[in-house]
Structures are given as C-alpha cells and as structure tokens.
Amino acid sequence: MSLDHRISLITLGVNDVARSTAFYEKLGWAKAEASQDAITFIQLKGVVLALFSRQSLAEDAHVENSAPGFSGVTLAHNVTSERGVDAVYKFALSCGATSVKAPEKVFWGGYSGYFADPDGHLWEVAYNPFVTMDAEGHLILDA
C-alpha cells in the first residue's frame, strides 16, 4: 500500500460555530455549500478548513474537552514581503482577531507576527526570505 502524504482537512474546535464562521467570512473566506448549522467548511487551495463545536470534536475523538490554552499548534499564512505581513496582520485585527505578537524581525531571519481567532487558535503571518513561493502562493521548500 502506498501512502499519499497530505493534509486534506484541518478542523478547529470552536465555542460558537456561527461566531467563528462570521470571523472567517470577514477575512474573505467563503463558507462552502456543504456546511451545516453544526459545522462550517471553508474550501481553501488544496485543503479544507472546518469549524466544529469544541465539545463535539472532543467527544468524537474520545478526549476530555480541557481548558483552552497553548496547544502546541499554530496555523500559518506566508506572504512574499514584510509589507504583506503588516497588511494581512492589520486586516485580521480589523476583522476581530486578537493581537498576540505584532509583526517584527525574528531570530530565524524572517519577519512575522501572531494573531488569535475568536477561540484563541494562533495564526502566524510570516515572510520567509529563505523559501520560494509559486505564483499561487504555495510554499516550495525544495526548489
């Protein structure tokens, strides 16, 4: 059997699906027609982002719905310039994101900042001068 290495779907456990859906729609991400009251699907390039009740997600995985905090996971939006980082970061804040770390030059030689969505999921907005991005904005690590 050959494994097909990919991430197809990322599900964020949220406290209020409607509120979180409204936040991501403000960012300009469209809710897919397959969405239902209990779950929102957002079709991205090559992956789907799902918003689902945190309690229901914990029950489905058979784990305790523990208190939110740093989960050890961040999501990232890479752009092609420091100016792009500033613009995306400012736009996210205008849509209701919470500032976690303002964009700044970082130890690894790039430029990045962090914001949190309404449920505290961390998003990094970054410019990495050491990677290539294709015309559609996908990272190419081994160019």
- What confidence tens digit (pLDDT) does each residue in 79-118 have? 999 999 999 999 999 999 999 999 999 999 999 999 999 9
Nearest C-alpha neighbor of 12 from the set 125, 141, 121? 121
Q: Superfamily for 1-62?
A: 2,3-Dihydroxybiphenyl 1,2-Dioxygenase, domain 1 (3.10.180.10)
* Residues sharing a CB contact under 8 Å with residue 126, sequence separation 6 or more, in sequence order: 76, 77, 78, 79, 85, 110, 111, 112
Amino acid at 61: A
Q: Model confidence over 25-48: pLDDT tens digits? A: 999 999 999 999 999 999 998 899
Domain ranges in the chain are: 1-62, 72-133
Q: Model confidence over 51-82: pLDDT tens digits? A: 999 999 999 888 899 887 788 889 999 999 99
The helix or strand, by DSSP H or E, that contains position 54, with its residue range, turns out to be helix 54-61
Rounded to whole angstroms, the Cα distance separating 120 from 93 reads: 13
pLDDT tier at 2, thresholds 50, 70, 90:
low
| Identical fold between 1-62 and 72-133 | yes
CATH number of the domain at 72-133, please?
3.10.180.10
pTM of the model: 0.87
